[in-house]
Structure formats: C-alpha cells, structure tokens
Amino acid sequence: MTGDRPPTIIRRSDEMRQRVRAAQAAGERVGFVPTMGSLHAGHTSLVERAASDCPAVAVSIFVNPIQFGPQEDFDRYPRDLAADCKRLAPHSVRWIYAPDVSEMYPPDHATRVEVAGPAEPFEGQLRPGHFAGVATVVCRLFHCVPADAAYFGAKDWQQTLVVKRMVADLGLPIDVVVCPTVRETDGLALSSRNAYLTAPQRQQATALSTALKQAQSDWQQGHAISDIEHRMAAILEAAAIAVDYATVVAADTLEPLAPSDQTTAAIALIAGRLGETRLIDNLSLPPRTQSPC
Ligand code: PAF
C-alpha cells in the first residue's frame, strides 16, 4: 500500500492521544507499530499488515533506555529519524510518534511494569531488567497511542509473549497481532543489530537460521528434544557463535516439553554472540508427524 501523504511527526503524548481518539471517534480503526527506529523491511512488513487491517496507522520511534542493561548497546544503537521517515514514506503511515526521553519518563517517574511467567527464562535471565523495561515502555506507549491493535514481529518471540501477558493481566484494550519474521534470502532474520556485523560475522550469522532449519527437520523426524538442542548448539559453535541458549520449548509458555508430548505447539529458540553483537532467532515447530525416538 502506498502512502498518499507524508506522516505527521508528533513529539508530545497528549497530542498523539488526541489524534488517535479523534480518528476513532470518526469511526477509524487505528493500528500501532512500536519500534526503536533503525527501520528495516521487518518493520515495514508490520506497517503493511497494520495498514491492511486499519485505515489509520501510527509508528512510534523511541530508543527505550530502560530496556538496555548497563553493558548493552544503548549508546551505539543506530538512530536516524530522517532515514526512518524516508523508509516509511512509501507506506500508509499517518503518524510517527517520536517522543524524547523526558516525555516518556519525566524526571520524577517511579513506576515499572514487571511481568513474571514468560518474562522469566532465556532473555529474562540473561538480560536482567530487560523485560521490565519493555513492558513499562509498551504499557506507556499504549496509553500515548491508544490504538485498537498493535503489531509485533515474531522474531522477538519472548517479547510477544510478555506483551500479551501484560495486556491480558492489565486488561489493556488493545489487540496484539504477531507477524511473521522477515528474512534475508540466505535465511538471516532481519534485525537492526545486523548492522553491527562485520562482513565475516555476517557470513557466520547464517548459522542461526541453519540451526533452526535443522531443528525443524529433526523435530519432524521425531528426534529427542535434547538431541535437537545439542545439534543446534553444535551448528552455532561450528560457526564460532558463542551460544547463550539453543532450546525447544512450549511456544506459548516457554516451559519445557515432556519428551512424549506431541500436541503442544513448540518453538526452537536460539541466542548467540558474534563478537560484541548478540542475535536471537526462533522457528515454530509444527506438530510432529513422527513419534519421538
Ligand atoms: O521490539 C522493539 O523494537 C522494542 O522492544 C519495543 C517493542 C519497540 C519496545 O521498546
């Protein structure tokens, strides 16, 4: 879909809220794509999906300081609002909400949204405070941009579960729509952090999707979960990727699966480090056609 008018950039939450409410009062469904900018085709696929569901689409661009740990890449995270606006120009985006930090977190702010359950394992363990930062900013954004539906990428699978849990637990009046991961032709999932990779690391990084595809095939052939996990880790290690986790768990809860379980929807999740750059990826595993051996 092509945008006929350039999006309006909005900096203040009261103005953003008022514009969304006015569109809704005029009978328009509003879709919302929260981002941290550094937009790529993964983000624009979310925008396209939002635009196909909703006549009015808002995209937020806000690099959220409180979801980065002290040793993480907040300072070097790419920021280029002009480039992001240009990337959004061909799409049907009505508003870009680009608040500054003091608008989102006034100096005396003192509230965090803590989600347990799906926020606890994996990224939650390795990045303490990360999901509290995500849940807090997403909750805050949902108040600034009181849309009817919000669109998130499946690449950050655990984040989608955390957001859905928060929305359900706090009774927030918004539909959460999870959209497929967009990949390069060689399988690498699009991520703003891919920009950090050197040329050799970019080659190595294809091992993430190779490991996931292997897991999918092993899963279908009925291999034991522990064997699938070892094989994923071996593929990553062979590409000199330091493995944070390579696991197969229940897709909706991230809990371990019983070895004989064939009906629960599963997901393979991986995280690994190439030098300073940490990448995550995942692949859904359809119900098995072969019994586990
Ligand atoms: O996925 C992201 O880009 C961020 O975690 C989000 C959801 C925009 C919150 O800052």
Task: Determine the residue of 32, 33, 36 to mutate for testing ligand 1's pocket, defined as the one with the most ligand atoms within 8 A of the Cβ atom.
Answer: 36
Ligand 1 in reach of 64 Cβ (< 6 A): yes
Beta carbon of 160 within 6 Å of any ligand 1 atom: no
Q: Which residues contact 206 (CB under 8 A, 6 or more apart)?
A: 186, 187, 188, 239
pLDDT in tens, 143-191: 999 999 999 999 999 999 999 999 999 999 999 999 999 999 999 999 9
Q: What is the pTM of this model?
A: 0.97
Domains of the chain: 8-179 (3.40.50.620), 192-285 (3.30.1300.10)
| Gap from CA of 72 to ligand 1 centroid (Å) | 15
Residues involved in catalysis:
43
The residue ranges of the chain whose pLDDT is under 70 are 1-3, 289-293
Backbone angles phi, psi at 162, to 5 degrees: -65, -45
114 CA to centre of ligand 1 in angstroms: 16
Spatial separation of the C-alpha atoms in residues 260 and 224, rounded to whole Å: 9
pLDDT at site 291: 65
Closest CA to 98 of 73, 64, 52, 68: 64
Joined tokens for residue 214: 């292997």
Specify the ligand 1 atom closest to the Cα of 192.
3
pLDDT in the model for residue 192: 95
| Per-residue pLDDT, 292 | 66
pLDDT at residue 1, as a whole number: 45
**What's the chain look like in SS3?**
CCCCCCCEEECCHHHHHHHHHHHHHCCCCEEEEEECCCCCHHHHHHHHHHHHHCCEEEEEECCCHHHCCCCCCCCCCCCCHHHHHHHHCCCCCCEEECCCHHHHCCCCCCCCCCCCHHHCCCHHHHCCCHHHHHHHHHHHHHHHCCCCEEEEEHHHHHHHHHHHHHHHHHCCCCEEEEECCCECCCCCECCHHHHHCCHHHHHHCHHHHHHHHHHHHHHHCCCCHHHHHHHHHHHHHHCCCEEEEEEEEECCCCCCCCCCCCCCCEEEEEEEEECCEEEEEEEEECCCCCCCC
- Tell me, using a 6 A CB cutoff, whether residue 247 lines ligand 1: no
How far apart, in whole angstroms, are the C-alpha atoms of residue 134 and residue 94? 24
Per-residue tokens: 128:
């303490």
Ligand 1 geometric centre to CA of 134 (Å): 6
Is 36 close to ligand 1, i.e. is its CB under 6 Å away? yes
Going by alpha carbons, the residue nearest to atom 5 of ligand 1 is 134
Q: What is the pLDDT of residue 207?
A: 98
Task: Give Rg (Cα) of the chain.
Answer: 20
